[in-house]
Chain A
């Protein structure tokens, strides 16, 4: 899932300073699971922002948390709140922030978190990146370890000449992804996979991505609409 971290309070404060009534919008999706932008975090953040106001400030911080900010149907509860606020502070990932801004184009929307990566929960409060969403998955060739994400140079024909004691030259605390790939393929009796040159990638995601499932196509594309 998507992992995010809360922005520094000073940065948030600077963004919202010109606005009196701020509505902090939590998201019950990914950011809530990584303890960055759920209901609890929205309320905590508002308490901190209130505490940081100058004495006599008339700033108001309200909160609402929707199930997911990346789906329009979950944004409807916000329609009746928009009149009562001067700006939104969204704690969703970058996609959620943009969807909110798209629904309320007349209102400033500020991001309260930094979207970090697609990753896993190693344990509570411990998240690690696993996927660069490159759009052309080769995990089948690399024993389920992504070199695009886990190799510091994103090599397709590793390992490079740099690993020390099984660790990456860039970070001695991080195991070399390609040695891990090698060892796992070896254990599976699939080392021959590594003797084939992996050719230059046709990189996806170089323009904004869009998916339209064929079985839903008729719903959105009228005859003659085709590009």
Chain B
């Protein structure tokens, strides 16, 4: 085991994992985090805590991670390269590990022009690939990026993102391989709506032997409405929402679209579970945490494995 992460134990034991997502609030509102955390507790194996997603300022991922831990959840600490240089990142990584964070997801981060501080200065001292490499070096070699020794290495289970649908398509598995070589232990993908294209990407990863080297969790986001589906299709970069899903939501009354969206989501999870080489699901119910229990139940993902005591 590379870490004390429960997510790592579940994946290593070959069980189908389920991670969720929790977006911190736009204020110093611990209760908002607790409320969301309680909805997710027992429903998922670990919860990604986003890091100022879409470049909109929110409570820090680390702060919300700690509240999640207090609520009995295992957080996946998301860290983006947009806002901090390698000094701040390494410092936060040590702090997070010291406070009980076991998993980290290394991301580039959405450009600040999408958020509410478009005049801020971007950092990108490292990119996501270099961040993965840095965390791995910190953990496995107890060495800072600058070369000095670390007294107590941060034992983190290292995650990375992958978008199977982005261009250039032929390069996507190559980039996945690069992230694995840099040190990624698990992968969470962009939201999957186009099953055929996802399966073909996964097949390529399998053929290259990548699914033996890394745990891949397929990203799934329930569509709350026709409007959301259209928005995802047209406005979210790197997203592939097939027209047939739009038509299916269009075919039901507006008040029933949420239910239909959940039905679609559960069918997708079933389909994904059948795919060889897939290690789990990453369920991103964006500002819809209260619907997670029914989705997880309807998708047949309950009960979740009980938290095990750490092996001595």
Residues of chain A touching chain B, judged by Cβ–Cβ distance below 8 Å, are 152-166, 169-170, 176, 179, 182-183, 194-195, 197-201, 203
Q: Which residues of B contact A155 (CB under 8 A)?
A: 108, 124, 127-128
For chain B, give the interface size range: 35 or more
Contacts of A183 in B (CB 8 A): 168
Q: Are B238 and A164 in contact (CB under 8 A)?
A: yes
User: B86–A200 contact, CB under 8 A?
Assistant: yes
User: Do residues B174 and A159 form an inter-chain contact, with CB atoms below 8 A?
Assistant: no
B111 touches A169 (CB 8 A): yes
Q: Shortest Cβ distance from A12 into chain B, in angstroms?
A: 23
CA distance A179 to B178 in the complex (A): 17
Residue contact A200 to B161, C-beta cutoff 8 Å: no
In the complex, the answer to whether A159 meets B166 with C-beta atoms within 8 Å is yes
A184 to B: closest C-beta gap in Å: 12
Kindly state whether residue B41 has any CB partner on chain A within 8 Å. Answer: no
- Interface contact B108-A197, CB-CB below 8 Å: no
Judged by a CB distance under 8 angstroms, whether B290 is at the interface is no
Please provide the 10 A-B residue pairs with the shortest distance between their CB atoms, ordered closest to farther: A161-B163, A169-B237, A157-B129, A162-B237, A155-B127, A161-B166, A161-B238, A200-B130, A154-B124, A170-B111
- Residues of B within 8 Å of A194, CB to CB, are 171, 174
Given contacts A154-B122, A195-B174, A199-B130, 10 further A-B contacts (CB under 8 A): A153-B127, A157-B178, A160-B166, A161-B190, A161-B237, A176-B167, A182-B168, A197-B182, A200-B86, A201-B125
- Alpha-carbon distance between A162 and B237 when the two chains are bound, in angstroms: 5
CB of B162 within 8 Å of the partner chain: yes
Q: How far is the CA of A194 from the CA of B175 in the complex (A)?
A: 9
Q: Give the A-binding residues of B (Cβ under 8 A).
A: 81-82, 86, 108-109, 111, 113-114, 122, 124-130, 133-134, 145, 161-163, 166-168, 171, 174-175, 177-178, 181-182, 190, 237-238
In the assembled complex, 20 residue pairs joining A and B whose CB atoms fall closer than 8 Å, in A order, are: A153-B82, A154-B122, A155-B108, A156-B130, A157-B127, A157-B130, A157-B178, A160-B166, A161-B161, A161-B190, A163-B237, A164-B237, A165-B167, A169-B238, A176-B167, A197-B178, A198-B130, A200-B130, A200-B134, A200-B145
CB contacts (< 8 Å) of A153 on chain B: these are: 81-82, 108-109, 111, 122, 124, 127
- B167 near A166 (CB under 8 angstroms)? yes
Q: Is B129 in contact with A156, judged by CB distance below 8 angstroms?
A: yes
Contact residues in A for B182 (Cβ distance below 8 Å): 197
For A195, the chain B residues whose CB sits under 8 A away are 174, 177-178
Closest to B161 in A: A161
A170 to B114, CA, bound (A): 8
